[in-house]
Amino acid sequence: MPLEETDILSCRPAIVAFVLKLVGNHALAEDVAQEALIRAIQKSAEFRSDSSLQSWVIAIALNLVRDHFRKVARHPETTIEKSVLEAIPDVHETSEQVILKEEMSSCIARLAGQLPRPQYDVVILHDKADLSHREIAAQLNLSEANSRVLLHRGREALRQILKQNCVLSLGQDDIPCEPVTKNE
How many domains, the chain?
Answer: 1
The verdict on pTM exceeding 0.85 is no
Domain that holds residue 79: 5-179
Mean pLDDT of the chain: 78
Residue 184 lies in a domain: no
Residue 83 lies in a domain: yes
Residue 79 lies in a domain: yes
Predicted local confidence at residue 79, as pLDDT: 43
Pair 164, 91: CB distance under 8 Å = no
Average pLDDT over residues 134-157: 90
| Residue 184 scores a pLDDT above 70 | no
Residue 60 lies in a domain: yes
Pair 27, 70: CB distance under 8 Å = no
| Residue 33 scores a pLDDT above 60 | yes
Residue 34 lies in a domain: yes
Residue 80 lies in a domain: yes
Pair 133, 167: CB distance under 8 Å = no
Question: Among 128, 97, 110, which residue's Cα sits nearest to residue 20?
Answer: 128
Look at 14-23, 30-39, 80-89, 130-139 and tell me which has the smallest mean pLDDT. 80-89
Specify the DSSP element, H or E, that contains 178.
strand 177-179
CATH number reported for the structural domain that contains residue 162 in this entry:
1.20.140.160
Residue 14 lies in a domain: yes
Residue 135 lies in a domain: yes
